[in-house]
């Protein structure tokens, strides 16, 4: 897998992070080394492995809303900026 | 410092008060922590108050819990209500846990005394405890060396005698490798044995809470206290939890130990020598040593780095600074706000998020992520097949002993490869334990690792117990 020259920077933007020039240069080289190393996985014959996306039903439970008022208040209280029961965020545009 | 069992027995018998046990621990922390940096925060008043309550209950004739008066440290990614839990990251610098994790609830119900939170690699990503925002942890055996990671503070605290046991988390070896580097016992149970409710997620298909202790029996006692089904963690298992600390057999006669073919090929001479000597010792204790084949194990490390980084990029997506954590209030708009906040992650965390996002991109998904998930299935099958022939599997914990602080700084692949023996356990969901098996020429501990099937922690604890007793 060949990463393009600006991969570290563009991928960082995609996951809402910014990199300094120094970071981008360092990561770019390290990421390429890592993905070259990971390439060895492609030599494994995985035809015998079935569908890995199957979720075991036993692991699922219904979502139950939290009704503990005190806990709700504590969670809301952790918001950096709040208005009522909502986190207040900056304008989008 | 007394062992977990010695403290419990003495407190229950009234020959030692919980207050004395906790005071001794706090004193050790005060003396040694400035050099070692194992604890990032200690709660002395609260710990002493709790110890006094335990003593008062004993004097009233009340029955005490199985960990009565035992001072314990918890890794900084485990929530303890009203206390900071920062994952040793700037991102969560001021985060205070609003509820207790299940493991903390269980420790408190067992009358343990939590004395503080321990240092770790940021968000549990690292194997040398050098990525913490609180600075590195120093190995108590040689201050110029790393304690291992990511639960480096938890391991160093036990090795230095500050506490007899701590909790860590293990996603690729983060309990067992630091236990090996610090010369103590570290156990990661099978996937699903311990609830992860209230433990900050790194990689949900691999994370497990584990125990670090000064001896096998103590690790077994703390472990049995923590295991069991929890409605708040749908991956926790229903299965009955044996009394691990009470079920040691008289000897190891009939135990079949597997040694994987080719596992010692690229190992340094000193570690190799200790592992071979350990196998001989197991033989002398009555066990039989057999060769087993785990052909896909060599792919564990690349699988681990793809799968866990992909899961991390998703799990760490919640850290945007708006609901909790660092928030740059000067940012011009929401996007700038997110970018500024999330850029507070440290270097290793940022890198792993980018690795994960790259592996999950639609053009790379099949070749990279899906291939790793499928190879992981083959690794699991190899181990299942091996466990049809043997009871436990013996490997080194780490290919080396503790290295110098700052070593491998420019060679992250060398560090990733060092996880080879431990991350197999997380890829296979296995139970794994690291115990000391000797020292190299510099006096640094060498660890051996025993793997058992997912719900058979008893087998590895039993083998480890007899090995430790025979040392």
- A9 touches B: beta carbon within 8 Å: no
With 70 as the cut, is the pLDDT of residue A54 above it?
A: no
The pLDDT of residue A55: 47
How does DSSP assign B183-243, residue by residue? TSEEEEPPTTSB--TTB--S-TTT-EEEEEESSHHHHHHHHHHHBS--TT-TTS--S----
Q: Please compute the mean of the pLDDT values over residues B337-344 and round it to a whole number.
A: 93
What's the rounded Cα separation, in Å, for the pair B196 and B75? 13
Q: Does a structural domain hold residue B306?
A: yes
Q: Does a structural domain hold residue B67?
A: yes
Average pLDDT, chain B: 96
Range in A58-67, B185-194, B232-241 the model is least confident about: A58-67
Range in A35-44, B26-35, B322-331 the model is least confident about: B322-331
Q: Does a structural domain hold residue B12?
A: yes
Q: Does a structural domain hold residue B232?
A: yes
Q: What is the pLDDT of residues B359-413, one digit of tens each?
A: 999 999 999 999 999 999 999 999 999 999 999 999 999 999 999 999 987 788 8
Q: What is the pLDDT of residues B199-257, one digit of tens each?
A: 999 999 999 999 999 999 999 999 999 999 999 998 999 999 999 999 999 999 999 99
Which neighbouring-strand residues pair with B73?
Answer: B116, B166
With 90 as the cut, is the pLDDT of residue A70 above it?
A: no
Yes or no, beta carbons of A41 and B350 under 8 Å apart: no
Burial class of residue B463 in the structure, from the number of CB atoms within 10 Å of its CB (0-12 exposed, 13-18 middle, 19+ buried):
buried
Yes or no, beta carbons of A41 and B306 under 8 Å apart: yes
What's the rounded Cα separation, in Å, for the pair B156 and B162? 9
- In chain A, the residue whose alpha carbon lies closest to the alpha carbon of B343 is A17
- In chain A, the residue whose alpha carbon lies closest to the alpha carbon of B414 is A34
Yes or no, beta carbons of A44 and B296 under 8 Å apart: yes
Q: What is the CATH number of the domain that holds B446?
A: 3.90.1300.10
Q: Is residue B413 classed as helix, strand or coil in its secondary structure?
A: helix
Is B81 annotated as catalytic?
Answer: no
Q: How many domains does chain B have?
A: 1
Q: Does a structural domain hold residue B200?
A: yes
In this prediction, residue B148 has a pLDDT band, given cuts at 50, 70 and 90, of very high
Range in A12-26, B30-44, B179-193 the model is least confident about: A12-26
Closest CB to A42: pick one of B357, B371, B378.
Answer: B371
In our burial notation (b when 16+ CB lie closer than 10 A, e otherwise), range B76-94 reads bbbbbbebbbbbbbebbee
With 60 as the cut, is the pLDDT of residue B447 above it?
A: yes
Q: Does a structural domain hold residue B435?
A: yes
Q: From the candidates B127, B128, B174, B180, which is the catalytic residue?
A: B174
Q: Whole-prediction pTM value?
A: 0.95
Q: Does a structural domain hold residue B82?
A: yes
Candidates A28, A65, A80, A85: best to mutate against B (most CBs of B within 10 A) is: A80
Average pLDDT, chain A: 85
Higher-pLDDT residue of A70, B383:
B383
**Domain carrying residue B443:** 1-237+251-471
């Amino acid at each position: 897998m060949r990463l393009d020259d600006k991969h570290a920077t563009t991928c960082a933007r995609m996951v809402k992070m910014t990199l300094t020039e120094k970071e981008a240069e360092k990561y770019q080289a390290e990421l390429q080394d890592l993905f070259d190393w990971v390439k060895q996985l492609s030599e494994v014959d995985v035809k015998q492995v079935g569908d890995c996306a199957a979720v075991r039903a036993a692991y699922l439970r219904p979502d139950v809303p939290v009704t503990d008022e005190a806990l709700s208040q504590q969670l809301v209280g952790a918001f950096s900026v709040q208005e009522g029961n909502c986190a207040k965020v900056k304008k989008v545009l | 410092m007394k062992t977990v069992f010695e403290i419990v027995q003495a407190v229950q018998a009234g020959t030692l008060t919980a207050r004395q046990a906790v005071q001794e621990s706090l004193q050790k922390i005060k003396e040694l922590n400035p050099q070692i940096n194992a604890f990032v925060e200690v709660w002395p008043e609260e710990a002493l108050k709790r110890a006094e309550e335990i003593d008062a209950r004993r004097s009233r004739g009340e029955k005490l819990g199985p960990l009565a008066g035992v001072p314990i440290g918890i890794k900084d990614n485990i929530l303890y209500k009203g206390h900071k839990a920062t994952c040793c990251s700037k991102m969560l610098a001021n985060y205070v846990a609003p509820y207790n994790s299940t493991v903390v609830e269980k420790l408190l119900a067992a009358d343990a005394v939590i004395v503080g939170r321990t240092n770790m690699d940021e968000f549990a990503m690292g194997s040398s405890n050098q990525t913490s925002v609180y600075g590195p942890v120093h190995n108590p055996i040689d201050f110029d060396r790393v304690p291992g990671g990511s639960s480096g503070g938890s391991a160093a605290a036990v090795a230095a005698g500050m506490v007899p046991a701590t909790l860590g988390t293990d996603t690729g070896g983060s309990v067992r490798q630091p236990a090996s580097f610090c010369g103590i016992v570290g156990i990661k149970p099978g996937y699903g044995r311990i609830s992860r409710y209230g433990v900050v997620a790194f990689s949900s298909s691999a994370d497990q809470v584990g125990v670090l202790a000064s001896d096998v029996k103590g690790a077994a006692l703390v472990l049995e206290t923590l295991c069991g089904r929890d409605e708040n963690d749908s991956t926790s298992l229903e299965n009955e939890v044996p009394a691990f600390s009470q079920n040691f057999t008289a000897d190891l006669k009939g135990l079949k130990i597997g040694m994987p073919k080719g596992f010692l090929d690229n190992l340094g001479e000193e570690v190799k020598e200790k592992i071979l000597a350990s196998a001989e010792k197991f033989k002398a204790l009555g066990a039989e040593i057999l060769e087993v084949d785990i052909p896909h194990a060599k792919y564990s490390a690349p699988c681990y780095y793809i799968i866990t980084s992909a899961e991390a990029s998703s799990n760490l997506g919640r850290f945007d600074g708006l609901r909790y954590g660092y928030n740059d209030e000067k940012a011009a708009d929401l996007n700038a706000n997110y970018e500024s906040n999330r850029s507070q992650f440290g270097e290793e965390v940022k890198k792993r998020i980018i690795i994960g996002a790259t592996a999950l991109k639609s053009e790379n998904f099949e070749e990279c992520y899906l291939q790793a998930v499928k190879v992981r299935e083959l690794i699991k099958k190899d181990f299942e097949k091996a466990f049809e022939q043997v009871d436990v599997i013996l490997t080194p914990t780490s290919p080396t002993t503790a290295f110098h602080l700052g070593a491998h700084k420019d060679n992250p692949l060398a560090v990733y490869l060092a996880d080879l023996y431990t991350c197999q356990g997380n890829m296979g969901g296995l139970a794994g334990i690291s115990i000391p098996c000797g020292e190299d020429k510099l006096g640094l501990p060498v660890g051996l690792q025993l793997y058992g099937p997912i719900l058979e922690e008893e087998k590895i604890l039993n083998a480890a117990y007899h090995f430790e007793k025979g040392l």
